[in-house]
Chain A
């Protein structure tokens, strides 16, 4: 019951966004293929979107 009504701190969302963005950077660094590098950039973009939505 306690678990069901618990709320999530805003900082967890921001932390998730930071982790996703850093994984995008790592993917951009280790990938050789142009398309997968672009996918890593999309991952970074979505992470920043998540932080925007969190602050909104």
Chain B
């Protein structure tokens, strides 16, 4: 059962990734990215991470992809021309990608003691997760929230840049 589900959803995932590369319109790329993320959520469920699977569907397939489609439609991004990358990408990038993938695949396939993943593995419930997150890892959790706050402030500063009144811009440049 595990093998069948894994092969099925890994195939869907890889097909979605290929489709993301082949489509020339950004909306089609976004829709195939939704397919990739939803099948990844099923793979998380197979690995016993039920909370992460739910978060993957809600946050990635839901919120982030809606944000992507909003941005695509707001910017009115049309069909892109296919350039197959710049010269540097063609000369250095693609061989580097192939070599790195080959090295990683060789290392993974020759690694010993990785074991198997079975459906009878214990599921990490939300209770276990929150016990770890709010007792032992409380300080990193709070530091992460401060980091998100800094990111919000940076987004506000970047969005206001160039749209404020000229006096405020003059003050800002004078302050620098």
Contact = CB atoms under 8 A, between A and B. Distances in A.
Query: Do the two shown chains form a genuine complex with each other?
Result: yes
Interface of A: 3-16, 18-20, 22-27, 29-33, 35-36, 38-40, 42-43, 46, 49-50, 53-54, 56
Interface in B75-106: 75, 77, 80-85, 89, 93-94, 97-98, 100-101, 104-105
Nearest to B109: A11
Contacts of B43: 13, 16, 50
A32 B80 contact: yes
Interface in B32-54: 33, 36-37, 40, 43-44, 46-47, 49, 52
A5 to B, nearest CB: 7
B109 A35 contact: no
Contact of A46 (B29, B60, B100, B104): B60
Which secondary structure dominates where chain A touches chain B?
helix
Given A16-B43, A23-B21, A30-B85, 18 more contacts: A3-B3, A3-B4, A9-B117, A10-B117, A13-B117, A18-B104, A19-B14, A22-B97, A22-B100, A23-B14, A25-B93, A29-B89, A30-B21, A30-B84, A33-B77, A43-B20, A49-B40, A53-B49
Given A11-B111, A32-B80, A53-B44, A23 B2 contact: no
Contacts of A27: 20-21
26 contacts: A8-B46, A9-B117, A11-B108, A11-B114, A13-B43, A13-B47, A13-B117, A19-B17, A19-B101, A20-B17, A23-B18, A26-B21, A27-B20, A29-B89, A29-B93, A29-B94, A31-B80, A32-B83, A33-B80, A35-B77, A36-B26, A38-B68, A46-B40, A50-B40, A53-B52, A56-B49
